[in-house]
Amino acid sequence: MDFSGWRVLREGLRGHTGWAPLWRAATPKKHYDVLIVGGGGHGLATAYYLAKYHGLTNIAVLEKNWVGGGNVGRNTTIIRSNYLLDGNQPFYELSLRLWEGIEQELNFNAMVSQRGVLNLFHSDAQRDAFRRRGNAMRMHGTDAEWLNAKAVRQMAPFLNYDNARFPIHGGLLQRRGGTVRHDAVAWGYARAASALGVDIIERCEVQGFDVTNGQVQAVETSRGRIEADRIGVAVAGYSSEVMRHANVRLPIESHVLQAFVTEGLKPLIPGVITYGAGHFYISQSDKGGLVFGGDLDGYNSYASRGNLPVVEDVCEGGMSIMPMLGRARLLRSWGGVVDMSMDGSPIIDRTQVGGLYFNGGWCYGGFKATPASGWVFAHLLARESSHPTASAYRFDRFAAGAMIDEKGQGSTPNLH
């Protein structure tokens, strides 16, 4: 089933009776060439790229709940590639380039909107750090613009410029950054993968691995045993829980991150704005809701809901930078369990178990990485070697002291 303007028109005239489900509801086969555990954005993208570019089609994605119920459907939809470090920048730039072509690639409207991501700065030191980051981005061929206070005021006149403690001195702008409709990413990849023959198996929880002579043979699931030659795990906040079944201990803690949305308002915020002096960022969805968030709750958590101190903290941050936010009514808030790694950067690597591969440690920022993560994980699973842009995302970087720590926080996952 192809999507086009013509098709929408035709269905509109026929009472929308011609649409079919986006993907087949598959039942597990006995054996697959590649199994992907986790039907979030990363797992689905991996399966799609494996089928499309690596000639493998005997693939299944196992999802314990339903497609889109994890962090891929809970995030605040921001995409950007404004990283500083060599290990990160080319990878996130690859992702942004893949986002730019995703709708044609998948024939699905993911509502990619490059409305710009603006990071505000409030002190001389912060300005220097942002300039350095902007320069690093440009040296990697990524767009970055430095805005002075006047230019920021033109773009976002509603911000609090006169705050004596945290005046806005300017901002680092990445115009190619923006937002993407998160659910559509999961659905689009699932649909496109399914069309290439990938089995998407929902309500199928992986509960164990069969490892014989150091080689993974099969998974035990809530729907029985499924054999596979290679298994890729991409379960985000549940990484430690799933990998424990294969005796793989990870440099990861699970934490809860909250997000908030207000009632729908008329167009107000031009892009994504982040507050440099408090933990707060905001954008406006196409439906008009102001979507915002801030810090992690800060302690290990597998509860997909947060606590009140962070609600207060985020709202204080919002009021401090954008006082008119106080007039908007909050519609909903929710949380998601995120896989915080020890240096704040992801891991895409083989494990000590033969045939078992891991993709995780995405922290609060893995949505923007979805296409590139799938791209490089598919490469790793198909060719058994790291993709060049992800060659730094290895397990051994911790022992080697080669951390990719954008924030310079050290091994404190809750502070990244």
Partner 1 sequence: MRIPHPILGLRDQSEFVYLGDACLLERPDGMQADALQKMTEYAYQRDNCRGLHRELWFHEQGDRAWLVVTRNTVTHEIVKVEFANEVASHD
Q: Which residues bind partner 1 (CB under 8 A)?
A: 238, 240-241, 244, 249-254, 298-303, 307, 309, 342, 398-399, 411-414
The smaller minimum CB distance to partner 1, of residues 310 and 381, is found at 310
The smaller minimum CB distance to partner 1, of residues 155 and 415, is found at 415
The smaller minimum CB distance to ligand FAD, of residues 169 and 301, is found at 301
The smaller minimum CB distance to partner 1, of residues 30 and 249, is found at 249
Please, are residues 244 and 251 in contact by the beta-carbon 8 Å criterion?
no
278 binds, among ligand FAD, partner 1, none (CB under 5 to 8 A by kind): none
The alpha carbon dihedral of 368, 371, 372, 378 has a sign of positive
Residue 151 CB neighbours (<10 A): 15
Q: Which amino acid is at 141?
A: G
249 binds, among partner 1, ligand FAD, none (CB under 5 to 8 A by kind): partner 1
Q: Which of residues 364-383 bind ligand FAD (CB under 6 A)?
A: 364-368
We find the least distance from the C-beta atom of residue 366 to partner 1, in angstroms, to be 17
The smaller minimum CB distance to partner 1, of residues 148 and 247, is found at 247
We find the least distance from the C-beta atom of residue 71 to partner 1, in angstroms, to be 16
DSSP secondary structure letter of residue 113: B
Burial (Cβ within 10 Å: 0-12, 13-18, ≥19) of residue 194: buried
Stretch near ligand FAD under the rule CB under 6 A, chosen from 36-44, 145-153, 167-175, 318-326 = 36-44
**Binder among 26, 58, 69, 330 for ligand FAD (CB under 6 A):** 69
Please, are residues 186 and 200 in contact by the beta-carbon 8 Å criterion?
no
| Buried-state track 244-280, b at ≥16 Cβ within 10 A, e below 16 | ebbebebbbbbbbbbbbbbeeeeeebebbbbbbbbeb
- Token digits of residue 316: 């204080």
Examine residue 395 and tell whether it contacts ligand FAD (CB under 6 A).
Answer: no
Q: Which of residues 252-291 bind ligand FAD (CB under 6 A)?
A: 257-259
Q: How many residues bind ligand FAD (CB under 6 A)?
A: 39
Please, are residues 117 and 272 in contact by the beta-carbon 8 Å criterion?
yes
Distance CA 254, CA 338 (A): 6
**Binder among 34, 56, 60, 70 for ligand FAD (CB under 6 A):** 70
Which residues have a Cβ under 8 Å from the Cβ of 290 and sit 6 or more positions away?
A: 261, 262, 265, 268, 269, 282, 283, 284, 325, 328
Q: Which of residues 182-211 bind ligand FAD (CB under 6 A)?
A: 205-206
298 binds, among partner 1, ligand FAD, none (CB under 5 to 8 A by kind): partner 1
307 binds, among partner 1, ligand FAD, none (CB under 5 to 8 A by kind): partner 1
Angle subtended by helix axes 370-383 and 41-53, to nearest 10 = 50
